[in-house]
Amino acid sequence: MRLRAVVVSLLWLVLAGTAHSATLRVGPDEAITSIAEAARLARDGDIVEIQPGEYRGAVASWTQRRLTIRGVGERPVLIADGRSAEDKAIWVIRNGDFVIDNIEFQGARVPDGNGAGIRFERGKLHVRNCAFVDNQTGILTSNFIDAELRIDDSLFTDAPRQEHSLPHLLYAGRIARLEIFGSRFHNGYRGHLIKSRARRTDLRYNLIYDGRAGEASYEIDLPNGGDATLVGNVIGQSARTHNPVVVAYGAEGHAWPENALVLSHNTLTSAHTFGAWFLRVWRDRIGADVRVRGVNNLVVGLGAFTLGASGEFRGNFPALSGMLNDIEALDFSLAPGSLLRGRGENVPTSPDGDVVPDAEFQLPIGRRPLTAPAHWTPGAFQRAGDAR
């Protein structure tokens, strides 16, 4: 009877929490006109809906334990306009389980040079269908080792041309997990497109391509190693890059007990005149026993792929940019009739994680399901024109 009473009490608490959740609507014609007021009024479990439009100086610190914040209809645009929450970001997420959907963050600036669209400090954060434009850092996390960040179908672009601090489009600190799916990163400057110190980094079906105007250094920087899996991404370096390395692993030494790197079905490109170092692994810093695996990657442009990154490499092929359909139109699939079609390895799911792609990036943002072909083609796309 005592156990039954406990179960009934817990069920009542769950139902009570659900019953008291509310939807708060924010907009010029709503009862709540400012985002800061919504952040003050919202309670755990609520939904905050933001109407379309521009919201200038709409900075806020969110302290709830569980919350969904979403734009309604056309994506609302939050413009920092010289303001920040706690000298950190447009929004600060303190410590909770948050979903942020269909919102654009623009122009974050703070004196130390790390102004973020979102500063994520602890808990779990799921970002969907959002855009981060012209911020010193798109999303910046803290270093709590239990924090988890997932990003789906979002855009990170236009790093400011600042010299006093490196602007990264995304910077994950020493957190438990970073996952990014179906998102686009481009037009960096001096800093990196993606920098992750997470224990587990999982990047799948993204367009991480700096573009003609980009001047990023690394496209992907994993300075403390960790367990990293890169599947089905386009990872591209511009002619104006500030560093020839495209994917960097372990440059600042290990922080985690387990370190492994898998690259599967990525298309790596470089327009750098003097060639690229497509994958650099600092074994002298991260540890000589780090496991590195490269399967069915397509390497486009001048440069080295496996140099100094000894490990298991199968089904990887070099290519020239003219062998792709149309890089200028962001179509990175192999041209019809290419001799490389169907030349990849048929690799089963491994004990270390699934390295077989089940989706592909799709322009302008997002991904679509992929049915496994009879014979795999190296790179991120299986059919001609698959980026479209």
Q: Is residue 28 part of a domain?
A: yes
Report the run of H or E that residue 26 belongs to, with start and end: strand 23-26
CATH code for the domain in which residue 89 is found: 2.160.20.10
- The answer to the question of residue 231 being in a domain is no
What pTM value is reported for the model?
0.92
Q: Is residue 130 included in any domain, yes or no?
A: yes
Most distant CA atoms of the chain, gap in Å: 76
Whole-number pLDDT of residue 63 = 97
Name every residue whose Cβ is closer than 8 Å to that of residue 257 and which is 6 or more positions away in sequence: none
The number of angstroms, rounded, from the C-alpha of 165 to the middle of its chain's C-alpha atoms is: 21
Give me 68's structure tokens: 């969904």
Q: Are 206 and 180 in contact (CB under 8 A)?
A: yes
Is 180 among the domain residues?
no
Show pLDDT as tens, one digit a residue, over the chain (388 residues): 444 544 444 444 444 444 568 999 999 999 999 999 999 999 999 999 999 999 999 999 999 999 999 999 999 999 999 999 999 999 999 999 999 999 999 999 999 999 999 999 999 999 999 999 999 999 999 999 999 999 999 999 999 999 888 999 999 999 999 999 999 999 999 999 999 999 999 999 999 999 999 999 999 999 999 999 999 999 999 999 999 999 999 999 989 999 999 999 999 999 998 889 999 999 999 988 899 999 999 999 999 998 888 899 999 999 999 999 999 999 999 998 899 999 999 876 655 558 899 999 999 999 999 999 999 999 999 976 555 5
Nearest to 345, CA basis, from 294, 386, 278? 294
Full domain range(s) for residue 106 = 20-141
Residue 272 lies in a domain: no
Cα distance between residue 334 and residue 324, in whole Å = 4
Does residue 196 lie in a domain region? Answer: no
Q: Total domain count for the chain? A: 1
b/e per residue 347-385 (b: at least 16 CB within 10 A):
beeeeeeebbbebbbbeebbbeebeeeeebbbbbbbebe
Q: What is the pLDDT of residue 351?
A: 56
Query: Is 363 inside a domain boundary?
Result: no
Q: Taking Cα atoms as reference points, which of 370, 383, 231, 221 lies closest to residue 297?
A: 231
- Asked if residue 82 is part of any domain, the answer here is yes
